[in-house]
Amino acid sequence: MWSLYAPCQSVYAAALMYAALVLSLVVTAASPPSQRLAEAKQLVEDLQYDKALKAVDAALAQNVEIDRDTLRGLYELAAISAATLDRPARAREAFSVLLSLVPDYQLSKNLPPRTRTPFFEARSWAENNPPLSVQVEPTRNAERITALALTVKDNPLVPARSVRITLGRAGREDQVVTLKLEAHQATVAVDAPAVKWKVEVLGDKGVLHVATGEARPPEPVVELLPPPLPPLAGTQGAAGGGWARTAGIVVGAVGAAALVGGGIVGGLSADARARIARAERDAAGVVTGLTQRQASELDAAAITQAKIANGLFVAGGVLAAAGVGLILIDLGSAPKAASVTVLLSPLTGSVSGRF
């Protein structure tokens, strides 16, 4: 009796163990990719790279949609684990996929040296193969957004199959549309004054790329007209005179004062030169009435005064002419052939005009 019970007990125990193993495999296979990623990270921290790579492969083999962050993490751990296990071809391929999904990915300096070579080889490959991207171009009329045109760029390692677009429009619930790509392009109707969008590019493993944005109709163009100019003449009546006449008188007076000042300074310059010319000379023609130092000082003063006089003549002539012009504008009579002549010299200055 006992001899018959013992074999039955061992068979029963073996059956239980087999059932437990099958259940464990089923539960493991049903684990979502995000959970598999967490397990693989822990295995890498425990330096169990072979088991970590198997966990990643199991996650990628599932026929489920994997979100972009999880997909990135799985390929990163696959590349690191394969490189550490001295499987450079597998590591190079995983790094290439990772760089297609995340073009600005940088390798951590804390990783084993074996990861460097396959990473740099993958980066060289990525330089000649564009990363995955999507361009969204709104179609507008005068008041509304009518459609969104999508263009997707991919490469052989991450082929794009379809796009999922989430549209957000004022006063409506978000609309989710999934479209297959035809020649890497798709178009979705919108018909709204403004729209926000989220575009997810889908591949065989899940979400490869995500882009967001919004579009509004063009702002109306408003032409800003310059303010009207003040009236040029006759706005204050004959008794008070216009602003142009007053300004002309003031400007002309300043110009006249400058001309007078120029004449005075020019006279001083001429007087200094005359003193040098009138100095006494001996029979041989040598100047005896002035010392050489006095003559040099007079000559320098004459040159400086002449320059000042010329500057005053120019400024005075311009201001006088401007004053005359302002007075003519105020009088409301345009000159038929107005001309102003300015004569300048170190000694005299004059302004003549014909109207």
Q: Which domains does the chain have, with CATH numbers?
A: 31-127 (1.25.40), 133-215 (2.60.40.10), 237-354 (no CATH)
Question: Read out DSSP for 305-321?
Answer: HHHHHHHHHHHHHHHHH
pLDDT class of 316 with cuts at 50, 70, 90: low
Between CA 155 and CA 63 the distance in angstroms is: 22
Stretch (H or E) spanning 79:
helix 68-84
Ranked by mean pLDDT, the top range of 9-13, 167-171, 252-256 is 167-171
pLDDT interval class at 336 (50, 70, 90): very low
Give CA torsion, residues 300, 262, 339, 334, to 10 deg. Answer: 140
User: CA 290 to CA 181: how far, in whole Å?
Assistant: 104
d(CA 28, CA 114): 30
Number of H helices, E strands in the chain: 9, 9
pLDDT of residue 15: 47
- Secondary structure in 3-state letters for 88-134: HHHHHHHHHHHHHHCCCCCCCCCCCHHHHHHHHHHHHHHHCCCCCEE
Judge contact between 94 and 78, C-beta under 8 A: yes
Report pLDDT digits (tens) over 93-143.
999 999 999 999 999 888 888 899 999 999 999 999 888 899 999 988 878
CA distance 68 to 47: 25
pLDDT tens, position by position, 14-31: 444 544 444 444 444 458
pLDDT of residue 200: 92
Q: Which residue has the tokens 């023609």?
A: 285
Residue 227 CB: number of other CB atoms within 10 A? Answer: 6
The encoded tokens of residue 219 equal: 């702002």
Overall pTM > 0.85:
no
Residue 353 three-state SS: strand
Residues 305-314 pLDDT 10s: 777 767 766 7
In angstroms, the CA 86 to CA 228 distance is 81
Residue type, 189: A
| Contact between residue 148 and residue 197 where contact means Cβ atoms under 8 Å apart | yes
116 vs 285, higher pLDDT: 116
Whether the pLDDT of residue 355 is over 70: the answer is no
198 pLDDT higher than 60: yes
Task: Grade residue 288 by pLDDT with cuts at 50, 70 and 90.
Answer: low
Q: Helix, strand, or coil here: 170?
A: coil
Q: What is the C-alpha separation between 252 and 258, in angstroms, rounded? A: 10
Q: Rounded to an integer, what distance in angstroms lies between the CA atom of residue 139 and that of residue 150?
A: 11
| DSSP assigned state of 32 | -
